[in-house]
Amino acid sequence: MDYASVSNIVGKAQTKRILLPTLHEAKLLLDKYIDDIDFVHHITHTPSLVAAVEEIYASLSNSGQAKVGHVILLLSIIGSASYSWTEMDDKRDLFPSPAHAHIQSSFWIKAGQELLDVVHRSTNSSIEAVQGAIILAFVAVHHEDVPSPFNTMLSMALQMARNLGLHRLDHPSAAADNVKPVYAEVGRRVWWYLVSSDWYVRKILLRCQALTDLQQVPCVQVRRPGGRDISVPATPNDYQEAFEPG
Q: What is the pLDDT of residue 81?
A: 96
Please tell me the distance from the alpha carbon of residue 25 to that of residue 31, in angstroms, as a whole number.
10
User: Do residues 134 and 121 make contact, with C-beta atoms less than 8 angstroms apart?
Assistant: no
Q: What is the pLDDT of residue 63?
A: 78
Question: Can you give the pLDDT of all 246 residues of the chain as single tens digits?
Answer: 544 445 445 554 455 678 889 999 999 999 999 999 999 888 999 999 999 999 999 988 887 788 889 999 999 999 999 999 999 999 999 999 999 999 999 999 999 998 898 888 877 789 999 999 999 998 887 776 666 677 788 888 999 999 998 988 887 766 656 778 888 889 999 999 998 888 777 766 555 444 444 444 444 443 433 345 666 666 555 544 544 544
User: Do residues 9 and 115 make contact, with C-beta atoms less than 8 angstroms apart?
Assistant: yes
Q: What is the pLDDT of residue 169?
A: 84
Please tell me the distance from the alpha carbon of residue 223 to that of residue 168, in angstroms, as a whole number.
11
User: Do residues 168 and 230 make contact, with C-beta atoms less than 8 angstroms apart?
Assistant: yes
Q: What is the pLDDT of residue 7?
A: 47
Q: What is the pLDDT of residue 206?
A: 53
Taking each continuous run of H as one helix and of E as one strand, the counts in the chain are 9, 2
Q: Give the CA radius of gyration of the chain.
A: 18
Q: What is the pLDDT of residue 220?
A: 40
Ramachandran assignment for 152, one of left (phi > 0), alpha (psi -120 to 50 degrees), beta (any other):
alpha
Q: What is the pLDDT of residue 245?
A: 46
Q: What is the pLDDT of residue 15?
A: 57
Q: CB neighbours of 57 closer than 8 A, spacing ≥ 6?
A: 4, 23, 26
